[in-house]
Structures are given as C-alpha cells and as structure tokens.
Structure 1
Amino acid sequence: MTEEVDPLNILAVDDDPGTVREIESLLSDARLRFHFADTSNAFSRILEAEPVDLAIVHVHSGSESLLDPLSRQLRSSEPPIALIAMVSPDAEAALAAAHLGVNGCMRIDDQRSVARVIQERVALIRENRSQRDALRQSSDIHERYNLLLESSREAIAYLHEGLHIYANPSYLELFGYADFEELEGFSILDLLSAADGTTDLKQLLKSLSRGELPEEAMELKAHRADGDEFIASVEFSPARYDGEACTQIMIRERVEAGDNAELQQEIEKLRSHDILTGLLNRQAFIRQLQDELASPPEGRHMAVLLVALDEHSRLQEKIGAAATDLLIRQTAGVFGEAIDDAMLPSRLSDHVLAARIWFEERSEAESLATRIIETFSGRVLEIRDKSPTVTASVGLAVGGSQLFTADELLAQSESALREAQRTGGNSYMRYRPSTGAADAGDAAQWTETLRHALNNEDFRLVRLPITSMEDDDFLISEFETRMRVEGSDEIIMPATFRPAAAQSGLATELDRDLIQNLIRWLGNHHEEKEDMLVPLSGQSLVDDEFVVELQNLIDDETIDGRRLILGFQEPDVRESVRELQRLISRLGARGVRFALLDVTPDAKVDLVLKNVDIDFIKLGGDVSAALRNNEVARQALESLAAAAASHKIQVIAPQVENTTDLATLWQFGITLVQDDFVRDEEE
C-alpha cells in the first residue's frame, strides 16, 4: 500500500487566473492545491487562512506593486515560504526577480522549465517535511521510552564501563536509595557480588566494557544501601543513553512465590493487567474471550467493541509525548464510565481500549456502543496545561449462531473501528464483510460473508407461488431465502451463494436458517394452508443430525408434514440415492413429499425414478428459450414429461413467459407453472 502524502498548498500570484490553471493542468498532481491571488489583499487573506507551503509569482511590468509586499510577508512567515518567479521574456522582469531574492526562476513561456522547477521545489519541501516528521517522531519515541523507564516496575539501570549513569525509580527503590545522586558513579561491584563464590565479577566488568554480555540471566547477591542482602536475577543487554553506547542492567529480586499466596495473586494480576490503566492487557483479554467462547451461555452471543479517540495522532502532537500516559489514563477513566467490570474492560494496544458483552438481542450491543460514543462526545480532558475536547469511535463485531474465534472477532472489530474513523469518527460502526472478494470467488471471503449473514439475519424469506392450469384452487408455495447485503440494496440470489455455502461446508446451516424463517412465517400466517416446497442442500440430505431435527419439528407439529415438500437438486440426488431412500422412508410416513429440482430436459433421471418415489420434478434453466429455439430440447422435454407421467410424477415448469409457452407445456402434460406471468412472488 502506498504511503498517503499530505497535500501542499501553493499560492499563485498573477493578474491572469488562466496562467494558474495552465500550471495546475501542466503539473497534474492532485496533491497540490493552488490558491489564486491577484491583489495584495487577496494573498494576505490566503496567507492568514491557509498554511501555504510554496508561492509562485508572475513577474512582469504590471506586477511591480505586488512584489515587495509579497516578498516581505513570505520572509516573515514561520518558517519562511519559498518563492518561485515566472518571468516574462525581457531583461526588466529577470532583474526584478533577482532583486526579490527568489528561490527559483524560469521563463513563463518555457512550460517544461516551469514544471521542472516547481516539481523540484515541491520534492524538496516534501523531503524537508518528511525529515521534520522523522525527527519529531524520534524525539517523541525517545521521550516516551524515558517515560516508560521512569514508570516501569522493573528495576532498570544503565552502566558505562561498569559505573551507573542512570537508574529508574524502581531500581532506586529496590536498593534503598532516595534519588540517583546517591547512586551516581557507583560501580556495579558496589551493589552486586557472587552468590555462590564462583562468579568472577571483575572479569564480568571487563567483559561488559568490551561489549561482551552474558546471554543468560545471572544469579547474584545484591546489597541494599542499608546493608540488607537479597538474591537477584540479573540480565544484561546493549543499550544507548543520550546517544552513547552503554549496557542496560535489569534486576529482579528472587522470591519463592509458592510460600506466599498473596504474592502469587499479585504476580498474576501484574501478568494480566496493564500497569498504566489497571485494565486487562491484550493477552489476558484474548485468553478470557477464548475461554468464554469454548462454553458460551445458552441463548446468548458475544460482541467485541474496540474504542479509540478520534484524530489521536493530532491530539498526541498537540499535548506532546510527555503527556501520553496521562492521556491514556484519562481515556481509560472515561471508558470506565460507560461500561462495568463484567464487560472485561481492557487496553488492547497503545491507545485502543476494548470490552466484550454477552447479549440476547443485537440491539443490546449497539446500545452499549452508542453509550460509549455519547460518554466521550465533547468530553474535555485535563492534560497538564491543555484542555482538549475529544470524541471517540467504536468498532463493533457481533457473534451469533456461527461462532467466531477470539482472533476473528478482534480482527472484525478492528476493521469496523478503522471504518468508523475513516468516515469521520464520533460514531460506531458494526462490522460488515466486504462482498467484493466474495463476488470475485474468494472462498475465504465467501465463508466470512455467509457466517456474518447467518449471525445478523441477513437471509430474507421469499415465497414463489406455483399454480395449476387445470385447477384454480391448486397452490404450492416454494420458499427460499435471498441474502440482503447490509447497508445497500443489493440482493444475492441462491444460485450465487449456495454453491459457495456448499464449498465452505455451510450449506446445512443455511438450510437450518431457511427452516427457522419458514417457522416464523407460519407463525404469522395461520390462515395460509397451501403446500410448501422447501429446497434443501445435498449436505443436509446426508446429515443425520439435521434429519432428526426436521423430524422432531414435524412430530411436534411445528411444521405440518402433510403440507411439506422437500426438494433436492437432481445432481445431489444422483450421488446420494440411498440416503434419499432412507429419508423418504423416514419422513414419507409423516406425509412429507419429495421433489427433484433443477432438472434439465436432457437429464438422465430414469435410474433415479426407478429407485426413489418422487412426487414432483421441477425443471431448471430457461424452458421458454428451449421451447422456442431448440427442437432437440423440445423432444427431450416431451420425453421427460412422459417418463414423469408414467411414474405419476407432476412436473413444474419455471420461467414461463407467454401464453404460447403455456399451450406447449399443456400439450406435454405439464400443467404446473411458476413465474411472474402467473403470480408475483411475495416476500
């Protein structure tokens, strides 16, 4: 990914705006913003309103009155703004430009020269800006590192040729010194000695001066200022202090934790909590999520929320690195006002906080996200001598029947947080998978999209009527689900997402979702008594657990088996004839009927019809096109209809476009039809 470059503001001073437009077109750089001025008042207003990076002036006989005030204002700016002169092809203009002391000069009638000089100056400005940013970042990092040293609970000191040149407060406290002045200049030999009498510390000191450091921690005897002694684990590592090479020493007092239960608890708390905020740290938060997801509460789902202040980098630059810890602590304090400890408040990274909630309804998680936003919105923080007003963004990842791992939920909430910040902040964004990669056939993206859709009830039930040309009272409703892409009007049809579901092993889950949608529909339509055709996947056909679930729904009369027609794709049935026989034997006694779906006119269904008792065949493809343009297809369709009639199987034709096609189907004995020509589908 290319690094985003901040735009540069260019002040162009000329009495002809057309010249400025020509230069802008010539450079063709969207990262350059031109501001036109033709009077001294105009460029003064621009310099006051905009952080101008470069000025260009057209020097000619009519611009004398602008040159001096422009030059003075540019030189008095902080930092001074570079000035490039475009001169008319005469000696007077060149002399006037030289008198100004410009940073670049070119003839206005030499467009290549104009472009080259401006581009070179722009490149130099960007390089200088980059260097300033790097120096500022380096300074911030150095200052932040010093702050971390000062606040660390680890006892850390820096040595030069064996002498102490720095020690943090924890180090001073460990050895009993009030301040560094008491320790400054002491040799490490004054504080440490061999614990077992075999370690030669003088030789160690010589090795340290040569930059030869022990690879493993050493066990040594340490001496406090009051003469007390303790056994210490001592680690050495290379470091730099004030730009000079030195040796870092870290000392830990050895304690038998098993002898002190209270100390053991304190150690565990230190391991699992962030020192600065007191919140759970990232590792502990993830570990807790993993443990809870292994045995989720019945009927409840997990949501993960990530929270970050908006425009954090700009806020950080405003308050300075020295106030970073104070900013983080105050942010955590505001965060704590919106949530409770049961939600596992955590510090996930430098300035990102996290929480999790178990919910029954998704609105509970969304209400929490809203409460966090409202708690932060317009809050005034007190950071030393600064009082910034802040807002925050929240990224929300919602689990559901499809369980995600802790890492997946975190990745989704991080993506949602970035999107919330990208769209302006002060809001929450619930994670929505991208459909772009799914449309392109990305299997992993399809899996994520389908799981997200199952969790968020994005599959909507549609009802497609099937009627008879012979019986006005005949009605079968085929039920299927279509996926609505959240946040848009896009609808994804089963022909698109079902193959992906089969490939990802989610086809049976989609069938379960279809059955649940059907049950809800039945609960709201008690007066409807038509038969129901429900298409299922080949994976469900061979899934004993799914079959038992379906049988139980029929046995407890949640679904009327006498009205139920289960449909399976003809290619799936050819691969699982025995399984279909067992299913028919099991559910046929409960009144359930069966259908072959998407059968093409030339399909070899004879063997299937000989071995299983099918009630319906539903044709696939564009039957109308076959009837109009293909005599072979017409004959195949006629043969299929005859074979179905011999087994007392009714054939259903889709995609019937006109009365001529209806007449042809009638001739073949096909009287059941489904399409908009007959009745609009109902959702």
Structure 2
Amino acid sequence: MRTQSVLNLLVIDADQLYAERLVDLLDSYYDSINLGFLDDKEELLKSLRQPWDVLVFGQAYDMSFTDMVGIVQEQSIDLPMICLMSAETAPTAHNEDGLPSVMNGTMVKALRADQETAVVMAICLQHDNLRSRRQLKALHHVLSEAEQRANILIKNSKSAVAYLDQGIHIFANDPYLQLFGFESMNDIIGVPVIDLIAGGDNVKAFKQFLRQFDKGSREEVEFKFESLRKDGSTFEAKLQLAAATLDSEPVTQIIIQQNNSNSAEVAKRLAEAERKDSLTGINNRHGFEEQLMMVHQQAIDGVLTAGLMYVRLDNIGKIRSSLGLQGVDTTVKQVAYTLDELVPEGYVSRFSDTAFTILVENQTAAELEQLAEHIGSRISEMLIEVDKRTTSTTVSIGIVKIEKNTAEPKIVLERAMDAIAQIMTETSNKGGTYHLYDPSEHANSDDHALAESLVDAIANNRFELSFQAIYDINNDRSDFFEVYLRLPLADADNTVLTPQQFMAVAKAHQLLEKIDRWVLINACKKINDVRKIHPEARLLIQLTSASLVDKKLPNVASQLINAVGGAAGALTLQFNEQDIADHLTVAKSQFEALDQVGCQLGITNFGSSTKSVEIASVVQPDIVRLARSYVQDIDSADNLEAVKSLIVRTNAVKIDVLMPYIEEAATMSVAWSVGARYLQGYYLEEPSSTIKVASGT
C-alpha cells in the first residue's frame, strides 16, 4: 500500500493538451495532482504565490528559460525546474553525447518534449529530491537550534572551552583565551592546539591521542599534560575531547581543566594579565571595555562628558608584506608608546591587533578634533626602525562624544567604527585623517527614506549595473568582467549612489541579501546574452556578508550557472577579506559548497590585514583582488617590494592575484612585473553599462 502523495505541478507551455497528457501519465504515481498551466510572465508572477513542487518549462509568450529562472530566484523559492525543447532545438542544450547539459537535483536542461517517459521520470525524481531537501531543512533547523543553545552555554561557561578543526583552533570562549594569554578570538584562530602544549614528549603523545580520537576511538577522551601559555609560562592541566558541531560543521570540542595545585598561581597570573596587553604593556580590550562602562555611567549621571577615539593603523597589510610580523609588532609598539605619551591623562588601550582606543574626559568636540589632528600628524612623521630598515604609517581616527543622553557603550563603539568606515569612503580607502561622528547626519528619517528607495529599486529594477573588463595575462584575453552596482535617485541633481553610500542603511534594514540576489540574477541575465556569441565570457560579482552566511547561496549560484550554460568558471563570487575573517568557519564551509557547484571564489580588499595569506589558505579562493593601498605609490621601491612579496606568498598557495586600480601608464608598466595574473583599471578600460568583449579575445 503506497503512502498518500500529492504533486503540485506547474507547466509553462503553449499546449495545454500536452500538460494534461503529463498529468495522465503521472496519475499512476500520485494520489492527487494539482496542475497549474500558463504561458506568460504576468501569470507566472501570480502563480508563484502558491506552493509548487515541480516547474516544467516549454514555450512562453514573453520570456525565455533564463528569464524564468531569474523570476523564480527573485522570489527565493526552492522549485525544481525542467526545460523542454523540440526535436529540432534540443541539441543546442545537449552535450556532445546528446544528453542534457544540466542534470541535477534542482534542474534538468533540456529534455525533448516528445520523449514523455523521460519527462515523467524527471518530474518524479525532481519531486522526490525536493521532499528530501525539505526534510533535511527541517532537520537542519532542529540541529541549528540545539547547536545555538549549546554555544550560548559554552560562551557563558566558566570552563575553558574551544573548538578545533583538524587540530586548529577555530573558536574559544573567554576563559580559554584568558587561560592561555590571548586577548581576542582573532589571536587564537588558526593556532594549532599543539602550540599550547609544552615538551616534546607531551606533544608526541597528544598527536597520537588526537589521531585515535579522530579515527572514532572514544576509549580515551582525557589527556594530562603540561600546558604552555602565550608568554612562555606553563601549568599542569587536563583536557577532554568531544565530538561537536559549529555552524553545522563537524568539529572537535576541547575542555581544559587546570591542576588544582596550581590554581592560586594561575589566578594570580590571570589577574595581573587581565587588563594589560602583552606586546605593548598598555591596557588591553578587556580593560578598555570596563573603563568605557564606568565613563559611560558617569556621563549618564551628569558627572562628566567624555570622548572616545578609535585609532586604526592604515597600511598594516603593506608593512606585513614588506617587513613581516616583526615589522607589524614593532610598528604597533611604537604607535602604542606614542599614543601613551601624547595623551597622558587619557585611558589608552590596544583594542585589537592593529587598532587602539582612547578615552578622554571633559573635552569639547573641537578639542577632540584638535587632539586627533595632532595624533595623526605626529604618527605620520614617525620613522620606525625595523632590523636596519625604516618604515612609516598613518592612522585613521573615529571620534564619538559621550554625553548625558548618549547611546549604550556598545553603540558608542560601533559609531566610532562607523566613523572609520566614513573616512575610508571619503578617501577611497587611503585613510590618514579623522572624522567626528555626528548623530544628526544619521537621522532615522533620512535612513528610512533611503531604505524606501532601496526597497523600490529591488522591486522595480531601478538599480543599475556596469561592467569593467579584466585582462588575463596568462591567456591574453579580456572576457572576464567585474560587476558594479549603482543606485540612481529621482532627484533634481540626478544623484547616483555607490554601495559605500547605501550599504550601511541596507544592512540596518535587512536588505543586503535581497540586493545581492538582485545583482546576481540581473548580471547573469546580461552575461547569458553575451555568452551566446562569446561562450568564454564570465563575471566577477562582489557580495556582502549576508550572502557569505546564506546557506541558500550555493543552490542559487548553481541554478544561475546552469541557466547561463553550466560552464565551470562562468561565475566568480568575491567577498570582502574582513567579512571572511569575521566569519572564517562559515566562510570555509560556504566556499567549499560553492566550489562543488562549479562557482569560482574570490577575496576583495586582499592584503588589508596581517593574516591575509593565512585567511586565503583556509578558504582557498581562486582569485584575490588587491586592496587599493598596494597600488598607490607603487613606483616607490618599498611599496613595490611589499606588493611583490604579497603576490609571491599568495601564488605559493596556488591562488591567482588581480591587480586593480591601474589608472595611468606608469602604474601599467610596473603592473606587468609584479606577478599578478589579472590586471584591471581605467587605464585599460572604463566600466560600461554593456558587456563589451574586445575583438580577438
């Protein structure tokens, strides 16, 4: 006896008798079949408000198969699709063996309409696959909720807990970081667990212990050893291993328990180190956050006013490439000492690897700006000696006033960081200046007005896309195009906004994912027409952090790649380096999933952190796009060496490099010699509203 089964079948075709014939043939496999039939775009948009299980596309009055795929994707619907063609046209969508060019769990392209057996089999199998996906989605939801509860408990636990992936740290809670002397989770990500074990015999025994656990052995889950802190001191400890998941990916959980005989000594060391940065000796982030809470409360009580300055080093990626970690550490220490000297009455802290915070009391906005200008000028004039070489740096400073009616400390800190982002936008990522956050410039009415424009642009296709060619040195061709997004405003000045001007508002109103989806769909529609004449043409599309963590993205990318011809490499998606660093575990999983569906991956603003190559090694992109700072002043010997060093290290892990912002002949002449595979910039070709493949490529 078969289970009760229902099929909701949507057919887009000019021949209703054919659709009814399919229903008759499918009747043997289902208890009930609900048929939807249409042949134009307007009816499709109405029909997609209902739930469907399989869509069969034959012929439509005013849309192609690619148009239909774009419409379904715009609605964010998981709907398997089957493309039908006549005996005459089907060969154009078949491979050299005469089989459909695309055949997977979400799309078959294309079957001959007159081969009804194959069509019926495809419908049944696609429907069965959809039911499995729906069941899997429900199970993932249950697992995700369980994992979320477990992670909340771990983050708030007093026990020292971390997660490992193949013996490498990918997460640690605060007690674990404090136990080993790390200031933030960014410091421990990528650190092998064996680096925290003292003594060769201990390390050898632990490797064997970990191998047995990875093989599935659960007879021994505890290991006693001498543990090694970041400062070189040691203590006796015991660790426990357990299988776990993080972001739905299998990991190993590690819990560290200290030997009680050393607990007093450990507590003393932790108390001493709790508020001090080990590299510079100034206050650390933990100490700053406590001080910010205290100052904020005093401001609320009307006892004082204060100012927060967020100071970020601008060219740390270049220093890392040219002088290594020693250069970075020396620069950070020199800047820390200078800040401590310049603001003796302020509370100066090292907030992260290459950022500092300063709290000063009872200063006006003008005085804060004057202090920021003095700090920036003094640091830019510094000559920093690193092993017989000299380097220099600049800082960008975000300033926020803390007064009686100011927002909570977390928001104050975010505003200081937003001020830095504003500097980067206004200076085209050069930095080297300061910006005072003015709440009146971020009024809700303005934000809501812009948000309404964004919603309207998504719904009514009011965004604009432009395409800039990228030259491939290896293949001597320029049929690779980066996609740029713009938002025209309906005002008297014909204003056109760039993503830097509207993405913050889009994020605040949860519109990032919808904007990314719009760009993907509409760019693929453009390239689909071009690939009919130039089948090697391909796209480079930048997406936001919302898509980086979107588990639906691989399926969306797969369907769009298949719709434009199914060739591997037709679509390359790139994400900002900082977004990847902030979501490293999720990014690794997302990159692997996208790679499996034939999508290539990239990192933009590459080289902007101290761990750029290490981050790239984790996620394994196909291409990285250099940050603007590497191309500026490239005619200087030090800058040129920094670029070459970064490219050599990147090529060594088998990742191609794109050198952008080539805007003059002098830069172009140097670009040939640095080892980058791809070149791009206004000197080569300006962005255009149409995709123009140069003749001969």
Q: Which range, TM-score by smaller chain? A: 0.3 to 0.5
TM-score (ref. length: structure 1)? 0.34
TM-score by length of 2: 0.34
From the CA coordinates, give the structure whose radius of gyration is larger: 1
Greater relative contact order structure (CA < 8 Å, 6+ sep): 2
